[in-house]
Amino acid sequence: MPAVEHPLGRDDVLQAFLALDTPPGFKAELVEGEITVTPPPDGSHGTTFSLLAKQFFRKAATDLDLVPDKGLITPTGRYIPDGTVGPVDHFIDADPWALPTGVLLVFEVTSTNPQKDRGPKRHGYAAAGIPCYLLVDRSERKVTLFASPEGEDYTVHTQVEFGKPLDLPAPFSFTLDTGPLR
C-alpha cells in the first residue's frame, strides 16, 4: 500500500509539538505552525546574552527579572526568546509555557535561522502585546528595538549598528552599550 500524506490540523501539530522530547540543550519552538528545533547556541551567542543581561541588571531604573529561554504562548505559536524581562518575581510560579501577560521585553540574539527572529517571531511578540522586542542581529551587526505593538507588528523601530548607543524606554530607562557586541 503506498504511503498517503495526511496534512495535520493545527491541534494535531500543537499536540505533536508538546509531545516532543528534544535532546539536552536543544530548543523546540512552534513558529507559525512549523516546528523548529535548534541546537545549543555557540559561545558568541552565550556571551552576547551575558553582555545584555549584565546591562539590564546594572543599569535599569528599576529591579527586574531576566529569565533565559522562557516558553511563551503567543497568538502565532510557542516561542522561547533568548531573554524575557519582567517585574521581580513575575515568573516565580509560571508554567513552562506561559502567557506573556506582564512581560516587559523579550530579546533574541540571532543564530541558525535569523529570518525567524526578524519576521515571524517579531510579529508573534507584537500580536502577544509584548511592549518591547530587542533584536541583536549578529549577521547584520545591528541592534533593533521594536516598541509600541499594534496588531501583528511594532509601530516604533529604532536600529543602531554595533558600537552605537541605543536608548531603552521606561521602565528600563538606560542607554544600551552595544560596543561590546563588536
Residue 90 CA to residue 112 CA, distance in Å, equals 30
Judge whether 23 lies within some domain: no
pTM summary value: 0.92
CB neighbourhood size of 76 (10 A): 18
Judge whether 27 lies within some domain: no
Judge whether 19 lies within some domain: no
Judge whether 7 lies within some domain: no
Whether residue 106 contacts residue 133, with contact meaning beta carbons closer than 8 Å, is answered with yes
Judge whether 12 lies within some domain: no
| pLDDT score, position 182 | 84
Residue 156 CA to residue 65 CA, distance in Å, equals 24
Whether residue 37 contacts residue 22, with contact meaning beta carbons closer than 8 Å, is answered with yes
Judge whether 22 lies within some domain: no
* Nine-digit cell string for 89: 518575581
| pLDDT score, position 12 | 85
8 pLDDT band, cuts 50/70/90, is low
Let me know if 89 is exposed, middle or buried by CB neighbors in 10 A (0-12, 13-18, 19+): exposed
Judge whether 81 lies within some domain: yes
Number of domains in the chain: 1
Q: What's the pLDDT tens digit per position in 88-130? A: 999 999 999 999 999 999 999 998 889 999 999 999 999 999 9
CA angle, residues 20, 67, 127, in degrees to nearest 5 = 70
Judge whether 161 lies within some domain: yes
Whether residue 170 contacts residue 61, with contact meaning beta carbons closer than 8 Å, is answered with yes
Which residue range forms the structural domain that includes residue 67? 41-181
| CATH code, domain with 79 | 3.90.1570.10
Q: What's the pLDDT tens digit per position in 27-75? A: 999 999 999 999 999 999 999 999 999 999 999 999 999 999 999 999 9
